[in-house]
Amino acid sequence: MYNPINMVVEDEKRLIEKELRDNNKKKRYEVRYIADNLTTQEGQAEVKRLEEMALRRQSYKHSEK
């Protein structure tokens, strides 16, 4: 690994493996963040669509005679 006191790489193979694991972890979280964001946007769009439909709905009193 890396010795921060001496600023020397002691085990380069372990250091590379750890960096690879950390980078993969970041990628997984990034994918999850993108998916969550997309789901949130779709949900908000659906709520907005339903609200607009409700506002455009005419009262039954308009058709009464």
Range of the domain at 19: 2-47
pLDDT of residue 51: 92
Q: Would residue 20 count as lying in a domain?
A: yes
Residue 59 lies in a domain: no
Considering only CA atoms, give the Rg of the chain.
Answer: 27
pLDDT of residue 57: 77
For residue 29 the two structure tokens come to 């979280």
Give the distance from CA 35 to its chain's centroid.
5
Amino acid at 38: L
Find the length of the chain. 65
In the chain, which ranges are E strands?
2-3, 8-9
Residue 65 lies in a domain: no
Q: Which amino acid is residue 55, in one-letter code?
A: L
Is residue 14 domain-resident? yes
pLDDT in tens, 5-38: 888 888 889 989 999 999 999 998 998 999 999 9
Number of domains, the chain: 1
